[in-house]
Structure 1
Amino acid sequence: MKTTGTQIRFAAAAVASAALAALLAGCATQPSGPMATASLRATTGNTTTGTVRFAQSGSQVLVTGTITGLKPGAEHGFHVHEKGDCSSGDGMSTGGHFNPTSHPHGRHGMGTHHTGDLPSLKADANGSASFSFASGTLSVGSGVNDVVGKGLIVHRDPDDYRTQPTGNAGPRLACAVISRS
């Protein structure tokens, strides 16, 4: 069988993609800085729970986790909130989105946004969402954007990324306090 230039380019791209994935996986499993964890507990009348980890690596924070008890196939708003207080039962005691830089609400990783604006969660057919993303706006353990001691909220509805200051993400399904680990 004769190999074409296109086949060689596809093979080279596949090798490069595999190498990049291995490099990123290596970085993800060996954070170089402080770490924090949030154990999400369901708010009153809900069943959403999960664990989220924050690992500082240079100027980036790797955020990973799995959340269950979500509406199957639905998208859910996901935010760091200003207060690490889940005492209210409905998650409202966490206050508004964490926003120490006074930016408008927006989409994580695209233009200006609250420090606490995270990518929305997409639940699978079983109501579970597993995720891993890097953030250049969060920090763990120091600085104005430090998430340690803040609240973490999963919302019922998708974030519209426009409505100020909340993204119109609806009621709070789960709440956690982000703690240094």
Structure 2
Amino acid sequence: MNQSSTSMILQEINRMPDACAVVRGSGKYPNIKGQVYFYQMDGGTVVIAEIYGLPTKAGMCGEEIFGFHVHSGDSCTGTAQDQFADTDGHYNPRNCEHPYHAGDLPPLFGNGGFAWMMVFTERFYAREVIGRTVVIHRNPDDFKTQPSGNAGEMIACGVIY
């Protein structure tokens, strides 16, 4: 990417995404809904997330931060104890340590239950994550704890198609 990266990205996101995921909350967080879009570009992928219904806390500093990752699994299913157990771990085709997994993404910052985020990553192309899952965690990723950043409970998931 170079100095004209912003204009190049804006041109690219004016087309249909190369992949997307419809995100839904777990049984405990049924109000979470949203979309994640993947735009393949030269050298990587632009990821855009638009999420509604995230948990909030009362008070002036009540906005929350949520872990956000692409996971290796191909299903947002699981068990009664872990509704999204089948998402498996973070997408990590190069076997890197956390936070260098290909699926490690910046956190989502809640704004009155809404989050919007856009990032460019060289860690994967959109076509590589089709059929995998995108997961929102209850806590922010600490970007150091192995193997997954101590992000806690998976509260929402979507299959990338």
TM category (shorter chain) comes to 0.7 to 0.9
Q: Is contact 2:129–2:160 with CA below 8 Å preserved after alignment?
A: yes
Amino acid in the other structure paired with 2:157: C
3-state SS of 2:126 partner: coil
TM-superposition CA deviations, 1:101-154 (whole Å, max 9, x none): 000011xxxxxx001101110011x1100111111111122xxxx111111100
Is 1:151 the counterpart of 2:133 in the alignment? yes
Please give the alpha-carbon distance, in whole angstroms, between the structure 2 residues aligned to 1:20 and 1:162.
29
1:26 equivalent in structure 2: 11
2:69 equivalent in structure 1: 79
Shift of 1:28: 3.0
Q: For structure 2, list consecutive stretches of 5 or more residues without a partner in the other structure.
A: 57-62
Aligned counterparts, 1:31-180, within 5 A: 35-46=18-29, 47-72=31-56, 73-88=63-78, 90-106=83-99, 113-124=100-111, 126-141=112-127, 146-179=128-161
Which structure has the highest helix share of the two?
1
3-state SS of 1:56 partner: strand
Larger radius of gyration: 1
Q: Is contact 1:98–1:114 with CA below 8 Å preserved after alignment?
A: yes
3-state SS of 1:25 partner: helix
Please give the alpha-carbon distance, in whole angstroms, between the structure 1 residues aligned to 2:105 and 2:44.
14
Shift of 1:161: 0.3
Runs of 4+ in 1 over 3 A off after TM superposition: 19-24
Return closer, same or farther for 1:20/1:167 CA change in 2, 3 Å cut-off: closer
Shift of 1:70: 1.3
Amino acid in the other structure paired with 1:120: P
Please give the alpha-carbon distance, in whole angstroms, between the structure 2 residues aligned to 1:96 and 1:157.
16
Q: For structure 1, list consecutive stretches of 5 or more residues without a partner in the other structure.
A: 1-16, 107-112
